[in-house]
Amino acid sequence: MAESAITDDMRASVGVEGPEMISEVTSTGCRLFARAVGHTDLIFYDREVARQRGYRDVVAPPGFLGSLIFRPGERPEMGGQTPLKTPYRRVLNGGTTFEYFEPLCAGDVVHSRSKVTEYQERQGSIGPMLITFRETSYVRSDGTLVAKMYGNLINY
Amino acid sequence: MPEQVYWDDVDVGDEIPTLRKNCSTQQLVVWAGASGDFYQIHYDQAFAKDTGLDGIIVHGALKNAFLGQLLHDWVAPAGGVRKFGCTYRGMDYPNQDIVCRGVVTKKYIDGSNHLVDLEIWTENPSGQKTSPGAGTVTLPARG
Protein backbone atom coordinates (compact mmCIF):
# COMPACT_ATOMS: atom_id res chain seq x y z
CA MET A 1 0.00 0.00 0.00
CA ALA A 2 1.15 3.55 -0.70
CA GLU A 3 1.91 6.08 2.02
CA SER A 4 -0.59 6.15 4.89
CA ALA A 5 -3.40 8.71 4.67
CA ILE A 6 -3.58 8.75 8.47
CA THR A 7 -1.68 11.82 9.66
CA ASP A 8 -0.24 12.42 13.15
CA ASP A 9 -2.98 15.00 13.73
CA MET A 10 -5.62 12.40 12.89
CA ARG A 11 -3.99 9.84 15.18
CA ALA A 12 -3.97 12.41 18.00
CA SER A 13 -7.68 13.17 17.47
CA VAL A 14 -8.84 9.59 18.11
CA GLY A 15 -11.00 9.51 21.24
CA VAL A 16 -11.22 13.30 21.56
CA GLU A 17 -14.82 14.53 21.72
CA GLY A 18 -15.90 17.32 19.38
CA PRO A 19 -18.08 20.32 20.25
CA GLU A 20 -21.48 19.80 21.83
CA MET A 21 -24.40 19.96 19.39
CA ILE A 22 -27.99 20.54 20.49
CA SER A 23 -30.99 18.84 18.86
CA GLU A 24 -34.68 19.34 19.55
CA VAL A 25 -37.15 16.48 19.41
CA THR A 26 -40.45 18.14 18.44
CA SER A 27 -43.82 16.52 17.74
CA THR A 28 -43.71 17.99 14.23
CA GLY A 29 -40.22 16.54 13.68
CA CYS A 30 -41.36 13.09 14.89
CA ARG A 31 -44.41 13.15 12.60
CA LEU A 32 -42.45 14.27 9.54
CA PHE A 33 -39.80 11.58 10.10
CA ALA A 34 -42.45 8.90 10.67
CA ARG A 35 -44.33 10.01 7.56
CA ALA A 36 -41.14 9.96 5.45
CA VAL A 37 -40.46 6.36 6.53
CA GLY A 38 -44.09 5.26 6.21
CA HIS A 39 -44.68 4.30 9.84
CA THR A 40 -48.26 3.30 10.65
CA ASP A 41 -48.03 3.07 14.47
CA LEU A 42 -49.88 6.09 15.87
CA ILE A 43 -47.44 6.54 18.81
CA PHE A 44 -45.25 8.43 16.30
CA TYR A 45 -48.06 10.83 15.41
CA ASP A 46 -50.67 11.13 18.18
CA ARG A 47 -49.89 12.38 21.70
CA GLU A 48 -52.95 10.70 23.29
CA VAL A 49 -52.18 7.30 21.75
CA ALA A 50 -48.55 7.64 22.88
CA ARG A 51 -49.65 8.46 26.45
CA GLN A 52 -52.11 5.55 26.54
CA ARG A 53 -49.20 3.30 25.61
CA GLY A 54 -47.10 4.66 28.51
CA TYR A 55 -44.93 7.23 26.75
CA ARG A 56 -44.52 10.84 27.88
CA ASP A 57 -45.42 12.32 24.49
CA VAL A 58 -45.27 11.62 20.72
CA VAL A 59 -42.45 9.07 20.30
CA ALA A 60 -39.37 9.69 18.15
CA PRO A 61 -39.31 6.93 15.48
CA PRO A 62 -36.27 4.59 15.32
CA GLY A 63 -33.35 6.54 13.87
CA PHE A 64 -34.71 9.99 14.76
CA LEU A 65 -32.55 11.72 17.37
CA GLY A 66 -34.00 15.19 16.92
CA SER A 67 -33.34 18.09 14.58
CA LEU A 68 -30.09 20.01 14.87
CA ILE A 69 -30.55 23.72 15.41
CA PHE A 70 -29.83 25.61 12.22
CA ARG A 71 -28.32 29.07 12.09
CA PRO A 72 -27.64 30.95 8.83
CA GLY A 73 -24.09 30.41 7.63
CA GLU A 74 -23.61 27.17 9.59
CA ARG A 75 -23.78 23.57 8.43
CA PRO A 76 -25.25 21.74 11.42
CA GLU A 77 -25.23 18.44 9.51
CA MET A 78 -21.42 18.49 9.73
CA GLY A 79 -21.77 17.82 13.47
CA GLY A 80 -19.21 20.49 14.30
CA GLN A 81 -16.59 18.50 12.40
CA THR A 82 -14.35 19.91 9.71
CA PRO A 83 -14.00 17.61 6.70
CA LEU A 84 -10.89 15.40 6.73
CA LYS A 85 -7.90 16.33 4.60
CA THR A 86 -7.23 13.14 2.68
CA PRO A 87 -5.65 12.26 -0.66
CA TYR A 88 -9.02 10.82 -1.74
CA ARG A 89 -11.61 12.67 -3.78
CA ARG A 90 -14.80 10.87 -2.95
CA VAL A 91 -16.66 10.05 0.22
CA LEU A 92 -19.33 7.45 1.03
CA ASN A 93 -21.44 6.87 4.11
CA GLY A 94 -20.49 3.30 5.01
CA GLY A 95 -23.20 2.57 7.53
CA THR A 96 -24.96 3.57 10.73
CA THR A 97 -26.09 1.83 13.91
CA PHE A 98 -28.38 3.29 16.60
CA GLU A 99 -28.41 2.05 20.18
CA TYR A 100 -31.18 3.17 22.53
CA PHE A 101 -31.09 3.26 26.33
CA GLU A 102 -34.30 5.27 26.83
CA PRO A 103 -37.17 6.21 24.50
CA LEU A 104 -36.95 9.73 23.07
CA CYS A 105 -40.16 11.75 23.01
CA ALA A 106 -41.36 15.13 21.75
CA GLY A 107 -40.20 17.87 24.10
CA ASP A 108 -36.78 16.32 24.71
CA VAL A 109 -33.70 18.44 24.10
CA VAL A 110 -30.63 16.35 23.32
CA HIS A 111 -26.97 17.28 23.70
CA SER A 112 -24.62 15.25 21.51
CA ARG A 113 -20.88 14.89 21.22
CA SER A 114 -19.04 12.94 18.58
CA LYS A 115 -15.59 11.38 18.53
CA VAL A 116 -13.51 9.32 16.14
CA THR A 117 -12.92 5.87 17.61
CA GLU A 118 -10.67 4.45 14.89
CA TYR A 119 -9.15 5.03 11.48
CA GLN A 120 -8.61 2.07 9.19
CA GLU A 121 -6.97 1.80 5.80
CA ARG A 122 -8.05 -0.96 3.45
CA GLN A 123 -7.63 -2.08 -0.10
CA GLY A 124 -11.21 -2.48 -1.31
CA SER A 125 -12.85 -3.39 -4.61
CA ILE A 126 -13.07 0.35 -5.33
CA GLY A 127 -9.35 0.89 -4.58
CA PRO A 128 -7.53 2.11 -1.48
CA MET A 129 -9.81 3.58 1.13
CA LEU A 130 -9.72 5.31 4.48
CA ILE A 131 -12.50 4.37 6.89
CA THR A 132 -13.34 6.69 9.78
CA PHE A 133 -15.30 5.11 12.63
CA ARG A 134 -17.21 7.60 14.71
CA GLU A 135 -19.33 7.34 17.86
CA THR A 136 -21.82 9.99 18.98
CA SER A 137 -23.44 10.07 22.44
CA TYR A 138 -26.85 11.68 22.96
CA VAL A 139 -27.65 12.97 26.44
CA ARG A 140 -31.04 14.43 27.43
CA SER A 141 -31.13 17.77 29.28
CA ASP A 142 -31.73 15.89 32.58
CA GLY A 143 -28.37 14.14 32.14
CA THR A 144 -29.71 10.73 30.98
CA LEU A 145 -27.76 8.99 28.23
CA VAL A 146 -30.55 8.17 25.77
CA ALA A 147 -28.78 6.87 22.68
CA LYS A 148 -25.53 6.28 20.87
CA MET A 149 -24.92 6.37 17.15
CA TYR A 150 -22.07 4.47 15.52
CA GLY A 151 -21.17 5.39 11.96
CA ASN A 152 -18.41 5.09 9.45
CA LEU A 153 -17.37 7.24 6.52
CA ILE A 154 -15.33 5.94 3.61
CA ASN A 155 -12.91 8.22 1.76
CA TYR A 156 -11.67 6.64 -1.48
CA MET B 1 -51.89 -4.19 14.10
CA PRO B 2 -51.01 -7.87 14.27
CA GLU B 3 -51.04 -9.68 17.61
CA GLN B 4 -48.26 -9.18 20.16
CA VAL B 5 -45.21 -11.41 19.65
CA TYR B 6 -43.89 -13.02 22.88
CA TRP B 7 -40.25 -13.90 23.56
CA ASP B 8 -41.21 -17.46 24.54
CA ASP B 9 -42.70 -18.14 21.10
CA VAL B 10 -39.63 -17.02 19.11
CA ASP B 11 -36.98 -19.47 17.88
CA VAL B 12 -33.54 -18.97 16.37
CA GLY B 13 -33.92 -19.20 12.60
CA ASP B 14 -37.43 -17.70 12.54
CA GLU B 15 -38.03 -15.21 9.78
CA ILE B 16 -40.05 -12.16 10.85
CA PRO B 17 -42.80 -10.65 8.65
CA THR B 18 -41.31 -8.75 5.70
CA LEU B 19 -41.86 -5.05 5.07
CA ARG B 20 -42.11 -4.02 1.43
CA LYS B 21 -41.19 -0.47 0.40
CA ASN B 22 -41.19 1.30 -2.96
CA CYS B 23 -40.04 4.92 -2.81
CA SER B 24 -41.47 7.63 -5.01
CA THR B 25 -39.16 10.60 -5.61
CA GLN B 26 -41.69 12.52 -3.50
CA GLN B 27 -40.97 10.22 -0.54
CA LEU B 28 -37.24 10.95 -0.96
CA VAL B 29 -37.97 14.68 -0.78
CA VAL B 30 -40.04 14.21 2.40
CA TRP B 31 -37.11 12.19 3.83
CA ALA B 32 -34.61 14.91 2.85
CA GLY B 33 -36.64 17.43 4.86
CA ALA B 34 -37.20 15.07 7.79
CA SER B 35 -33.58 13.96 8.08
CA GLY B 36 -31.81 17.17 7.04
CA ASP B 37 -29.86 15.33 4.32
CA PHE B 38 -30.15 17.63 1.31
CA TYR B 39 -27.57 15.94 -0.93
CA GLN B 40 -28.87 16.47 -4.50
CA ILE B 41 -28.17 12.91 -5.74
CA HIS B 42 -31.39 11.96 -3.92
CA TYR B 43 -33.78 14.29 -5.81
CA ASP B 44 -32.04 16.00 -8.75
CA GLN B 45 -31.75 13.65 -11.75
CA ALA B 46 -29.29 15.84 -13.70
CA PHE B 47 -27.07 16.29 -10.63
CA ALA B 48 -27.10 12.55 -9.90
CA LYS B 49 -26.10 11.72 -13.50
CA ASP B 50 -23.33 14.35 -13.42
CA THR B 51 -21.73 12.51 -10.50
CA GLY B 52 -21.68 9.31 -12.55
CA LEU B 53 -24.76 7.62 -11.12
CA ASP B 54 -27.44 6.04 -13.31
CA GLY B 55 -29.99 8.35 -11.70
CA ILE B 56 -31.48 9.36 -8.38
CA ILE B 57 -30.68 6.90 -5.57
CA VAL B 58 -32.49 6.17 -2.30
CA HIS B 59 -30.80 7.55 0.86
CA GLY B 60 -28.91 4.86 2.79
CA ALA B 61 -30.23 6.29 6.06
CA LEU B 62 -33.82 5.92 4.81
CA LYS B 63 -33.22 2.20 4.17
CA ASN B 64 -31.79 1.98 7.69
CA ALA B 65 -34.95 3.67 9.03
CA PHE B 66 -37.04 1.11 7.07
CA LEU B 67 -35.17 -1.60 9.01
CA GLY B 68 -36.06 0.28 12.20
CA GLN B 69 -39.72 0.11 11.17
CA LEU B 70 -39.39 -3.60 10.31
CA LEU B 71 -38.26 -4.28 13.90
CA HIS B 72 -40.69 -1.84 15.54
CA ASP B 73 -43.71 -3.31 13.74
CA TRP B 74 -42.64 -6.83 14.77
CA VAL B 75 -42.24 -6.08 18.51
CA ALA B 76 -45.01 -3.45 19.02
CA PRO B 77 -46.88 -2.63 21.12
CA ALA B 78 -45.16 -4.12 24.20
CA GLY B 79 -41.63 -4.72 22.85
CA GLY B 80 -38.94 -2.20 21.98
CA VAL B 81 -36.10 -1.68 19.51
CA ARG B 82 -32.82 -1.59 21.46
CA LYS B 83 -30.30 -1.43 18.65
CA PHE B 84 -30.33 -1.58 14.88
CA GLY B 85 -28.14 -0.62 11.98
CA CYS B 86 -26.75 -1.64 8.64
CA THR B 87 -23.95 -1.05 6.19
CA TYR B 88 -24.68 0.57 2.82
CA ARG B 89 -23.45 -1.99 0.31
CA GLY B 90 -25.57 -1.41 -2.75
CA MET B 91 -27.69 1.32 -4.26
CA ASP B 92 -31.47 1.25 -4.48
CA TYR B 93 -33.54 3.33 -6.87
CA PRO B 94 -36.95 5.05 -6.68
CA ASN B 95 -39.96 3.09 -8.00
CA GLN B 96 -38.30 -0.25 -7.30
CA ASP B 97 -39.22 -2.62 -4.51
CA ILE B 98 -37.03 -2.60 -1.41
CA VAL B 99 -37.92 -5.63 0.70
CA CYS B 100 -36.91 -5.50 4.38
CA ARG B 101 -36.30 -8.87 6.03
CA GLY B 102 -35.11 -10.24 9.34
CA VAL B 103 -34.09 -13.61 10.79
CA VAL B 104 -33.67 -14.40 14.51
CA THR B 105 -30.03 -15.26 15.34
CA LYS B 106 -30.11 -15.41 19.17
CA LYS B 107 -32.54 -15.23 22.11
CA TYR B 108 -31.40 -14.59 25.66
CA ILE B 109 -32.24 -13.00 29.02
CA ASP B 110 -30.25 -10.11 30.50
CA GLY B 111 -31.47 -9.25 34.00
CA SER B 112 -35.21 -8.70 33.64
CA ASN B 113 -35.02 -8.12 29.88
CA HIS B 114 -35.98 -10.73 27.33
CA LEU B 115 -33.89 -10.03 24.26
CA VAL B 116 -33.68 -11.23 20.66
CA ASP B 117 -30.89 -10.56 18.17
CA LEU B 118 -31.63 -10.56 14.46
CA GLU B 119 -29.87 -10.37 11.16
CA ILE B 120 -31.72 -7.72 9.13
CA TRP B 121 -31.32 -6.49 5.59
CA THR B 122 -32.94 -4.79 2.59
CA GLU B 123 -33.17 -6.67 -0.67
CA ASN B 124 -33.38 -5.26 -4.20
CA PRO B 125 -35.53 -6.76 -7.01
CA SER B 126 -32.60 -9.05 -8.00
CA GLY B 127 -32.51 -10.46 -4.46
CA GLN B 128 -29.21 -8.79 -3.53
CA LYS B 129 -28.75 -7.59 0.05
CA THR B 130 -28.15 -3.86 -0.43
CA SER B 131 -28.12 -2.96 3.30
CA PRO B 132 -27.09 -5.91 5.50
CA GLY B 133 -27.23 -5.26 9.22
CA ALA B 134 -28.19 -6.43 12.68
CA GLY B 135 -30.69 -5.56 15.39
CA THR B 136 -31.56 -6.25 19.02
CA VAL B 137 -35.10 -6.02 20.42
CA THR B 138 -36.85 -6.61 23.73
CA LEU B 139 -40.02 -8.68 23.79
CA PRO B 140 -42.54 -9.34 26.56
CA ALA B 141 -42.42 -12.80 28.16
CA ARG B 142 -45.52 -14.90 28.95
CA GLY B 143 -46.60 -15.42 32.53
Q: Classify the complex by whether its ipTM is higher than 0.85, answering yes or no.
A: yes
Asked whether residue A92 falls in the same domain as residue A45, the answer is: no
Task: Judge: B62–A36 Cβ closer than 8 Å, yes or no.
Answer: yes
Rounded Cα–Cα distance for residues B55 and B96 (Å)? 13
Render pLDDT for B1-48 as a digit per residue (tens, 0 to 9).
678 999 999 999 999 999 999 999 999 999 999 999 899 999 999 999
Indicate if A60 and A125 belong to the same structural domain.
no
Could you tell me if A107 and A25 are in contact, meaning their C-beta atoms sit under 8 angstroms apart?
A: yes
pLDDT tens for A75-127 read 655 555 566 778 888 888 899 999 999 999 999 999 999 999 999 999 988 78
On whether the CB atoms of residues B25 and B43 are closer than 8 A, the answer is yes
CATH of the domain at A106: 3.10.129.10
Q: What is the pLDDT of residues B77-102, one digit of tens each?
A: 999 999 999 999 999 999 999 999 99
Buried-exposed string B79-91: b where 16+ CB fall within 10 A, e elsewhere: bbbbbbbbbbbbe
Q: In the 3-class helix/strand/coil scheme, how is A107-146 assigned residue by residue?
A: CCEEEEEEEEEEEEEEEECCEEEEEEEEEEEEEECCCCEE
CA–CA dist B43, B56 (Å, integer): 6
- Taking CB atoms and an 8 Å cutoff, what residues of chain A touch B50? none
- Closest residue of chain B to A40, computed from CA coordinates: B73
Distance from the B36 Cα atom to the nearest Cα atom in chain A, whole angstroms: 7
Of A36, A41, A53, the CB nearest to B30: A36
Q: Which domain range does residue A52 map to?
A: 26-64
User: Is residue A73 included in any domain, yes or no?
Assistant: no
Query: A32 and B81: CB-CB below 8 Å?
Result: no
Residues A4 and A49 in one domain: no
